[in-house]
């Protein structure tokens, strides 16, 4: 089993609840530094403050979150504002309805626009696997591979289901090797996070990882 500290280096320490308060975001950022998580993933309005207060922290935020049906122009405005505020990483939600309509040109154009504006920064594309059949997920894996996206991400955590091991295996087999995988949604134990990494994920999106790690190390 992976060491807990090593596991946390794969975790995007996340707080995206609609009721997130400044004090909670501050606590999250402090925990990320202490436990050396891969990054924090926080709402856009908190990015500038986090960047200024914790200059050494990898700060991620979300675009078109959590539903994905914003126009490309709206997503571009969000992305540019987040990058101007100091975000290092962007997690964008695809147009899920367009994917289910098999309007892949729309999906591709939406992703490509954000990829173009975020060059030099990490882009993670959330496909919300719980809504997709295998053919749709296959097509999306190929699109993100062709566009040179950094990560494909399973879920927002706001859908009816989150990351599944079978989806991670499928995505790893289908995506270009340069595209990494982020598993997110419903990961409420260190064992589940370990399982995702063993299946081929490189990042974990979780709000509970630090709390679980603290409890696990306190028991030793």
Residues found in the chain:
220
Nearest CA to 75 out of 23, 113, 39 is that of 113
Question: Do 93 and 68 contact (CB within 8 A), yes or no?
Answer: yes
Report the alpha-carbon angle 44-48-54, nearest 5.
115
Q: Which of 88, 110, 150, 153 is catalytic?
A: 153
Q: Residues 70, 95, 110, 182: which is the catalytic one?
A: 182
Contacts of 113 (CB under 8 A, 6+ apart): 72, 75, 76
Exposed/middle/buried for residue 194 (C-beta within 10 Å: 0-12, 13-18, 19+): middle
Q: Catalytic residue at 91?
A: yes
* Residue closest to 187 by CA, chosen among 220, 151, 153, 219: 153
Q: Of 91, 95, 110, 167, which is the active-site residue? A: 91
Is 44:80 a contact under the CB 8 Å cutoff?
no
Would you call 153 a catalytic residue per the annotation? yes
Tell me if residue 84 is catalytic. Answer: no
Q: Who contacts 85 (Cβ-Cβ below 8 Å, separation ≥6)?
A: 44, 47, 48, 51
Give the contacts of 17 (CB within 8 A, at least 6 positions apart): none
- Residue 174 and residue 172: Cα distance in Å, rounded? 6
Q: Which residues are catalytic?
A: 91, 153, 182
């Amino acid at each position: 089993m992976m060491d807990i500290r090593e596991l946390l280096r794969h975790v995007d320490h996340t707080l995206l609840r609609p009721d997130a308060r400044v004090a909670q975001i501050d606590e999250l950022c402090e925990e990320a530094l202490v436990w050396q998580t891969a990054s924090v993933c926080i709402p856009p309005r908190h990015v500038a403050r986090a960047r200024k207060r914790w200059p050494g922290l990898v700060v991620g935020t979300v675009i078109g979150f959590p539903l994905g049906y914003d126009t490309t122009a709206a997503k571009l405005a969000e992305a540019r504002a987040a990058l101007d505020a100091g975000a290092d990483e962007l997690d964008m939600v695809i147009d899920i309805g367009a994917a289910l309509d098999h309007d892949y040109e729309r999906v591709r154009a939406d992703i490509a626009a954000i990829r173009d504006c975020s060059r030099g920064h990490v882009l993670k594309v959330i496909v919300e696997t719980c809504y997709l059949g295998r053919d749709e997920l296959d097509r999306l894996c190929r699109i993100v591979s062709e566009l040179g996206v950094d990560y494909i991400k399973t879920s927002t955590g706001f859908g009816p289901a989150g990351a599944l091991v079978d989806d991670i295996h499928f995505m790893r087999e289908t995506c270009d090797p340069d595209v990494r995988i982020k598993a997110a949604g419903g990961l409420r134990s260190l064992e589940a996070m370990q399982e995702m990494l063993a299946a081929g994920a490189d990042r974990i999106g979780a709000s509970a990882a630090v709390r679980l790690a603290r409890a696990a190390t306190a028991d030793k």
